[in-house]
Amino acid sequence: MLAKRIIPCLDVTGGRVVKGVNFVELRDAGDPVEIAARYNEQGADELTFLDITATSDGRDLILPIVEAVASQVFIPLTVGGGVRTVADVRRLLNAGADKTSFNSAAIANPDVINEASGKYGSQCIVVAIDAKRRSAEAEQVLNAQGQPVGPGWNVFSHGGRKDTGLDALQWAQEMARRGAGEILLTSMDKDGTKSGFDLALTRAVSDAVPVPVIASGGVGTLQHMADGITEGGADAVLAASIFHFGTFTVAQTKQYMAERGISVRL
Amino acid sequence: MNSLTASRTLAVVDYGSGNLRSVWQAASHAALDTEWKVVLTNDAKVIAQAQRLILPGQGAMADCMQELHASGLLETVLQAAQTVPLFGVCVGMQMLLDHSEEGDIDALGLIAGQVKRFELAGRRQADGSRYKIPQMGWNRVNRPQSHAEHPMWAGIADGSWYYFVHSYYADLADPAHCAGETEYGARFASAIARDNLFATQFHPEKSADQGIALYRNFLSWNP
């Protein structure tokens, strides 16, 4: 049986892997190859590098990191953050990335997903969706049929600053239709709270799309990770801080999941 | 290095497909401390003279076949496949078969069989979650009795985990060519072998130690 995946997420800025709490007090987390190798030894199923660099000048600095890690650690690598064009995909794949993750750029120009997956295959195109439960006010916004859209989740862009008005479920379906091979789903309501994934959101998206869904945002305990899979129906779970700060290792997470009957690679 | 252990060449065939670099890197890693030189090449002469070949492939089968044709390397690869140990990876494995449903395209015809799309729509896995396509992630590879002792599996535990990303699978005409089986909705051939040919649907270059071990075995395999 296909194993559920555990994916540590590493933040990268200025060519270094960093760790911080809510983007403040970023601290150097050490050598990217060493960190990647450590997660690999713990049994990480994939690694995701998120480029949090604000300027496009700094962005290319992630390429040497991807190159260095890809030459030493032989598990799948995903790169997200600032991926905008088909040319960005090419450069990241050339550097050794296996998948690239689009977010705001897919909202600004959905065709880029058709183009990128058409050229390099769906297997290397991930679409990241930052979703937030609609406010009472947003539920009253009228849809194309003139009816209030009602409860659900909206997609936010630009690092969660801008409400696009798009419905998360419909957006996930459209992205899969356009060629996304995977959806990385982050709950903005839960992100950073350590209170667990938004399980209703995860379940709704996971049931709505034919492609794998990675749950992200809100993990504080091992129970949360397991719930993302058993309750949320996710194919993979992604977490950053609980691994970076050594709260739990990937191996402990997998052990916990295995004890609860979840298929994991041990 | 003395003349008795003159360097030998493993050529990763560069016909323009996607995951060449990771295949080359992982195979190079496997070749550390051996007499093998691993080259990524589109030079027909180098490919014709190499003692081992890896045929990678990623993305759509039709694109891969088209690129292999366009590269002018098709005949060289077919010629080499008659005698030299050849390792097909992912679409590089699918291309060894007769035909693919994906794009309704004829393939190399080196191993009898068809490439078919997973038909899993609406079906649920044992844990209640729906089957997703592509199959993306780690799954187990079990060896049929007939290939339990295949030299490519030396030192690798039966049922080891490998990394898969695919929507199509090999439906072999002759089960004797199945060297490894994986369960995803149904059992399918995740590794195939015939004489000097070995190929995997999964990506050894992304399968950590068990993948490197497979590439290392390929260097010492003498079919």
pLDDT in tens, B171-217: 999 999 999 999 999 999 999 999 999 999 999 999 999 999 999 99
Contact B130 A233 (CB under 8 A): yes
- The whole-angstrom separation of Cα B67 and Cα B126 is 39
What's the burial of A145, exposed, middle or buried (CB within 10 Å: 0-12/13-18/19+)? Answer: exposed
Q: Name the pairing type of β-strands A99-102 and A77-80.
A: parallel
pLDDT at site A20:
60
Asked if residue A264 is part of any domain, the answer here is no
Angle at B25 between CA A237 and CA B52, to 5 degrees: 125
pLDDT of residue A80: 93
How large is the average pLDDT for residues B72-80? 96
How far apart CA A165 and CA A187 sit, in angstroms, is: 15
Cα–Cα distance between B60 and B144 in angstroms, integer? 29
Measured CA to CA, the distance from residue B6 to residue A50 in angstroms comes to: 44
Mean pLDDT (whole number) for B57-85: 93
CA atoms of A161 and A258, how far apart (whole Å): 38
In a mutagenesis test of the B interface, which of A2, A127, A185 is the best target, namely the one with the most B β-carbons within 10 Å? A2
* Run means of pLDDT, 10 residues per run, chain A, 266 residues: 95 79 63 91 96 73 91 95 92 92 96 94 94 94 91 92 95 98 96 93 96 95 96 95 88 97 94
pLDDT above 50 (res B1): no
Residue B167 Cα, gap to closest chain A Cα (Å): 9
Where residue B13 falls among pLDDT bands split at 50, 70, 90? very high
Where in A73-121 does DSSP place strands (E)?
77-80, 99-102
Residue A265 forms part of a structural domain = no
Report CA A87 to chain centroid distance, whole Å.
21
For residue A29, what pLDDT is reported?
73
- Neighbour count for residue B70 (Cβ, 10 Å): 11
Instruction: Determine, for residues A74 and B138 on separate chains, whether the beta-carbon distance falls below 8 Å.
Output: no
> Domain holding B169: CATH number?
3.40.50.880
Pairing verdict, β B135-141 and B160-166: antiparallel
Q: Is B120 on the interface with A (CB under 8 A)?
A: no
Domain count, chain B: 1
Asked if the structure places residue A266 within a domain, the reply is no
A247 within a domain of the structure (yes/no): yes
Instruction: Name which of A77, A94, A117 is nearest B21 in CA terms.
Output: A94
Q: Shortest CB distance from B132 goes to which of A74, A124, A212? A: A212
Helices (H), B57-194: 61-71, 74-81, 91-94
CA B33, distance to chain mean position in Å, is 24
CA–CA separation, B218 and B215 (whole Å): 5
Output the pLDDT for position B3: 43
CA distance A142 to chain B (A): 32
Domain assignment of residue A251, yes or no: yes
Total domain count, chain A: 1
H or E segment to which residue B169 belongs: strand B168-172
Domain that holds residue A188: 5-259
CA B104 to chain centre: 21
Answer whether B22's CB lies under 8 Å from B29's CB: no
Candidates B127, B133, B165; nearest CB to A210 = B133
Q: Which two tokens stand for residue A215?
A: 């749950």
Q: Rounded CA gap, A201 and A4, in Å?
A: 18
Structure tokens at B75: 């005949």
Given B132, B138, B212, which is nearest A265 (Cβ)? Answer: B138
Return d(Cα B10, Cα B31) in angstroms, integer.
9
A246 forms beta bridges with none
Contact call for B22 and A96, based on CB within 8 A: yes
ipTM of the complex: 0.92
Inter-chain residue contact A98 with B22, CB threshold 8 Å = yes
Q: For the segment B99-156, what is each residue's pLDDT rounded down to a tens digit?
A: 999 889 999 999 999 999 999 988 888 878 889 989 999 999 999 999 999 999 999 9
| Distance in angstroms (rounded) separating the CA atoms of residues A127 and A153 | 16
Whether chain B has a CB inside 8 Å of the CB on A210: the answer is yes
Residue B127: the pLDDT is 78
Q: What is the CATH number of the domain that holds A104?
A: 3.20.20.70
DSSP label at residue A54: S
Q: Is the pLDDT of residue B98 over 70?
A: yes
Range of the domain at B182: 3-220
B158: amino acid identity, one letter? D
Q: Is A194 helix (H, G, I), strand (E, B) or coil?
A: coil
- A14-40 pLDDT, tens digit per residue, is 778 887 655 456 677 778 899 999 999
Task: Please state, in angstroms and rounded to a whole number, the distance separating the CA atoms of residues A139 and A142.
Answer: 8
Q: What are phi and psi of A261, to 5 degrees?
A: 80, 10
